[in-house]
Amino acid sequence: MNLRLIWFLKNLRSFDVKKVIVLFVVLFLFAACEKSGEEIANVNGKKITKADFENDVANLPPQYKAMASSPDVKKAIIENLVMTELLLQEAEKQGLFKDPDVKKSLEMQKNEIILNAEAEIQMLKNQKKNAEKTAKKEVAIRELIEGRDFLDVATKEEDLRGQYDSYAESSKARNPGAEIPEYSDVREDIRLATARQKWLEELREKAEITVNESFISEEGSDFEKQLQGIQIQ
């Protein structure tokens, strides 16, 4: 058992509640720091820590982060960290980073990473700023479009059949050997898509909408120009 935890348990009764809570938080933070520094691999005496592993996981695309807890993926990530460390050590050994051309390339790469990070930070700031508006949009789409069957919107059977025939004809033209599903198998999908589109068109027709055409012709928005003008500090 952790020595700090043993000491904490022995002296628990002598503290008031507030001090106990503060002490517990401090001990928790110490434990977290120790765990982050936990060695998970070693390359020629250079430690690779759990924090290094977590940094690599943090840079993974969202769909892959959930997989990082599996032993196979952990092993692959650690192997990548090991090989990267080996390459870094070999580069240092060869004096690679002292070469003028390599130093120039290194500086360019660093600046590109910083630029990308600045752009990402700006994007995240905008996401946070517009969080409520974005959430409302997503809920509106989910509830009004994705969550409806649109049975209250009238569709004509001949229109549905016509769309199917057009789809089948174009599919065969692109790929003569393609298997075309039966109309009965896809009719409901066609009806739903048709009814949804009809409902959206009717919604638009009832609204008063104006579009600033001059904005469309502009080369870039202020936000895009701001991103392009980010300076390396």
Residue 222 pLDDT class (50, 70, 90 cuts): low
Q: Can you tell me the distance from the alpha carbon of 100 to that of 102, in angstroms, rounded to the nearest whole number?
A: 5
Q: Is residue 188 part of a domain?
A: yes
Q: Please give the torsion angle defined by the CA atoms of residues 15, 17, 22 and 25, in that order, rounded to the nearest 10 degrees.
A: 110
Residue 86 in this model has a pLDDT that exceeds 70: yes
pTM of the model as a whole: 0.50
Indicate whether 94 and 153 sit together in one domain.
Answer: no
Q: Is residue 64 part of a domain?
A: yes
Q: Is residue 107 part of a domain?
A: no
Q: Is residue 60 part of a domain?
A: yes
Averaged pLDDT of the chain: 82
Pick the closest to residue 40 from 55, 62, 58 (CA basis): 55
148: left (phi over 0), alpha (psi -120 to 50) or beta: beta
| The pLDDT value given to residue 11 | 57
Indicate whether 90 and 165 sit together in one domain.
Answer: no
Q: Is residue 115 part of a domain?
A: no
Number of folded domains that form the chain: 2
Indicate whether 156 and 97 sit together in one domain.
Answer: no
* C-alpha to C-alpha distances, 210 to 121, 214, 219, nearest whole angstrom: 33, 12, 20
Q: Whole domain around residue 91: which residue ranges?
A: 3-102
Mean pLDDT of 57-65: 84
Q: Which of 70, 102, 134 is the last residue of a domain?
A: 102
Q: Which of 39, 70, 102 is the last residue of a domain?
A: 102
| The pLDDT value given to residue 59 | 84
Indicate whether 152 and 98 sit together in one domain.
Answer: no
Indicate whether 74 and 165 sit together in one domain.
Answer: no
Indicate whether 98 and 152 sit together in one domain.
Answer: no
Q: Which of 102, 132, 166 is the last residue of a domain?
A: 102
**Element housing 42 (H / E):** strand 39-43
Q: Is residue 193 part of a domain?
A: yes
Indicate whether 157 and 215 sit together in one domain.
Answer: yes
Backbone angles phi, psi at 7, to 5 degrees: -60, -40
Q: Is residue 215 part of a domain?
A: yes
Indicate whether 13 and 89 sit together in one domain.
Answer: yes
Angle, helices 50-58 vs 71-93, to 10°: value is 100
Is the distance from CB of 68 to CB of 60 less than 8 angstroms?
A: yes
Mean pLDDT of 78-89: 93
Q: Is residue 125 part of a domain?
A: no
Residue 121 in this model has a pLDDT that exceeds 60: yes
